[in-house]
Amino acid sequence: MRALSTAILMLALACAGLVPLPGYAQSPHTHMHSFSGAEHWAQVFDDPERDAWQKPHQVIEALALKPDAVAADIGAGTGYFSVRLAHFVPQGRVYAVDIEPDMVKYLAERARREGLDNLTAVTGAPDDARLPRQVDVVLMVDTYHHIAQREDYFRKLARSLKPGGRIAIIDFNAHSPVGPPPAARIAPARVIAELEQAGYRLVAAPDFLPNQYFLLFQTRQQR
């Protein structure tokens, strides 16, 4: 196996819990910690070498978003997916949600710096994304396994979906060389069961990611 770059090694260590993850990407018992240094984390999480296994372009294409779609990236961190989403929906809006103030500040500054007028940084809470309006799709990457009281969280989140809106859950599979410790990983079958309890149904499960599962849900009222 090819040696990991320093940044990717740091990402692997962060995901393994050996260094702290920013924003929503944290376990419930550490969610009150302050994670500063967004400029540093941007070098880690936005490293181009991540693209090889994260496949961000394919992920966003699989969401089949219209140019005027409204999307939310929950657990946005430094904007790895948020910025790409903003380019995919030039007539739409992207809400980049994080609970860490330093990350939200960085996201707002990045949007201004890169001229992305359709990207809005949002300060979320551990139990509420606090989206300012309804959205067509919610993207949640490597964040699900860190949310406490998930049934309540996703029942509340359903109110922020437009009719026909979807939630995309991407998280680490059991065989991924990066990610949280095995005991902290949540199997896709459990995700499906928990979302069903929260009022959702699975509508698709793209399988092109090598290290993660990718599950798409709608509320059960939507057919």
What pLDDT does 18 receive? 34
* pTM score, whole prediction: 0.82
Nearest partner of 108 among 100, 94, 119, 124, judged by Cα = 119
- Cross-strand pairs, 218: 201
> What's the Cα-to-Cα distance from 173 to each of 81, 103, 209, rounded to whole Å?
19, 26, 10
Q: Give the mean model confidence (pLDDT) for residues 144-154.
A: 94
**220 band by pLDDT with thresholds 50, 70 and 90:** confident
Q: Higher model confidence: residue 180 or residue 27?
A: 180
> What's the Cα-to-Cα distance from 117 to each of 63, 66, 105, 134, rounded to whole Å?
21, 17, 15, 18
What pLDDT does 13 receive? 38
Nearest partner of 147 among 78, 198, 101, 80, judged by Cα = 198
* Cα separation, 183 vs 34, whole angstroms: 24
What pLDDT does 222 receive? 61
Q: Under a CB-based contact definition with an 8 Å cutoff, are residues 10 and 44 in contact?
A: yes
* Cα separation, 214 vs 123, whole angstroms: 25
What is the set of domains in the chain, with CATH numbers?
6-219 (3.40.50.150)
Sequence-distant (6+) residues with CB within 8 A of 178 are 11, 12, 15, 16, 53, 172, 211
What pLDDT does 29 receive? 31
| Interval 33-44: pLDDT, tens | 344 555 544 445
| Interval 189-217: pLDDT, tens | 999 999 999 999 999 999 999 999 999 99
**178 band by pLDDT with thresholds 50, 70 and 90:** confident
